[in-house]
Amino acid sequence: MPSTQQGTQESAQAAGAALPPSFDIDWWTMLTDPEYLKNPYPELKRIRDLAPIHYDAASGIYFVMGHKEFAAMAKTEAMGRDTLYWANGWNSPENRKNDPDTYELFIDFQPQMINANPPDHRRMRGVYDRAFRPKDMARYLPMIRQECDKLLDQLPVGEPFDFMAAFGNPLPHRISLKLFEIPEDMEETIAGWISDLSWLGNIVMTPEQKRNVKKSNHEFKEYVRGHLDRLRKNPGDGLISLALAAAEDGTMDEEETLNNVVMLISGSKTTLTLLGNGLVTLLKNPEEFEKLRADRSLMPRAIEEMLRYEPGSSIIPRAGVEDFQLGDVCIPAGALAIGLVGSINRDPARFEDPDRFDITRKPNHHSSFGGGAHICIGKALARMTTEVAFNALMDRFDKIEQAGEAEWWTDRSDQRGLWSLPLKLTVA
């Protein structure tokens, strides 16, 4: 369980800030309960109906459940992603004494855009922002189609197989390797590093996971250091050239350069959740699936609905830079607040009939890519990958059927995805 924030809270109360009402929720038991993780939505609805913002006295963390409230929190500079502002948090001086290994882990990972507040955030994100716009990403469409086709060529027809192992997991990794000009024979090693590193977002990590994260982070960064060195003489005009130019002209120091490249490659892990969560949701809603088959122009809206309905990122944090009044609640400087995306995306105050999967939903302002300055830089890439993949699947196969129970991850509270999705494909 994360460390307590008693001091922060006391100072906020001394300043007259109201605490959200307390409802006796055992947050950490709930968020890690495998039954909750299989289907978190009924419990999230129950808690959101009580109040849009909650305070967990045991951990000192605020939980933001409402759409309006999360949008305001994501937008303000009074709350940022720099966890150094989280008083008594992982990379605080207290934690350095109490838990030096975890402290070191987070300090090592710290200097990069996802952990930075302005102006450092703008400085680092500015290096890549342009290249990740839909218009600029479109140059990679032929490569994405090619990687997708290579995997589709190998799928068995007429017999059950696991969609995640054969297609959902490898596709985003392969695209990432191509984007960063990494040789194909590194696929397995890099997928292992990404998988280990992804535990950093889970808040609660076992000692073994911490050891793996530390080792993989070190090895991944060393690999990227060597990769950049190898390409320095002939940088081309891809994403690696941006990293090299930013290191060369001093926009980023070496740690920032390495951490950002590692993070940008690791972003592929979340796209695999969209592929799996999206497909299983279509299969559970055959009328919507048929509607999409019949009218492929609905694909972009269908993908937004998949993102809203079954988001891959379950929690989005912010740390208080200064006191921030959010509705009736003041989130004090130094506090950690977590947006629970599964609740935010089904807030009836924002979405009509929120538990209905409706591929024609419009508007659809979900929060699956976060919000404000930190909104996911890879969102165009994720959308493009998914659009190519689902169109290609439907082009090739006349029937796409579920061939057994899909298994949801039940060992992590920060991301929602599938261990397996048994599928059977038929060609007429």
Q: Which residues bind ligand HEM (CB under 6 A)?
A: 74, 81, 113-114, 125, 263-264, 267-268, 270-271, 274, 312-313, 316, 368-372, 374-378, 381-382
CB of 316 to ligand HEM, least distance (A): 5
CB of 373 to ligand HEM, least distance (A): 6
How far apart are alpha carbons 175 and 184 in whole angstroms? Answer: 10
Of 68 and 96, the one with the shorter C-beta distance to ligand HEM is 68
Residue 87 dihedral angles phi and psi, to the nearest 5°: -60, 135
Of 376 and 425, the one with the shorter C-beta distance to ligand HEM is 376
CB of 194 to ligand HEM, least distance (A): 11
CB 244 within 8 A of CB 232: yes
User: End-to-end alpha-carbon separation of the chain, Å?
Assistant: 53
Of 152 and 264, the one with the shorter C-beta distance to ligand HEM is 264
Q: Which residue has the tokens 């379950």?
A: 314
CB 81 within 8 A of CB 317: yes
Of 311 and 332, the one with the shorter C-beta distance to ligand HEM is 311
* Measured CA angle at 73 (ends 72, 74), to 5 deg: 95
CB of 81 to ligand HEM, least distance (A): 6
Strands 422-426 and 161-162: antiparallel
Of 174 and 424, the one with the shorter C-beta distance to ligand HEM is 174
Buried b (16+ CB within 10 A) or exposed e, 250-266: eebeeebbbbbbbbbbb
For residue 168, the 8-state DSSP code is I
CA torsion 47-50-52-56 (nearest 10°) is: -60
CB of 269 to ligand HEM, least distance (A): 8
CB of 192 to ligand HEM, least distance (A): 18
Of 83 and 271, the one with the shorter C-beta distance to ligand HEM is 271
CB of 12 to ligand HEM, least distance (A): 23
- What are the helix and strand counts (H, E) for the chain? 21, 12
Side by side, which strands form the sheet with 399-402? 161-162, 422-426, 399-402
Of 382 and 418, the one with the shorter C-beta distance to ligand HEM is 382
Of 84 and 263, the one with the shorter C-beta distance to ligand HEM is 263
CB of 404 to ligand HEM, least distance (A): 25
- Compute the half-sphere exposure of residue 77: CA atoms within 13 Å on the CB side of its CA: 7
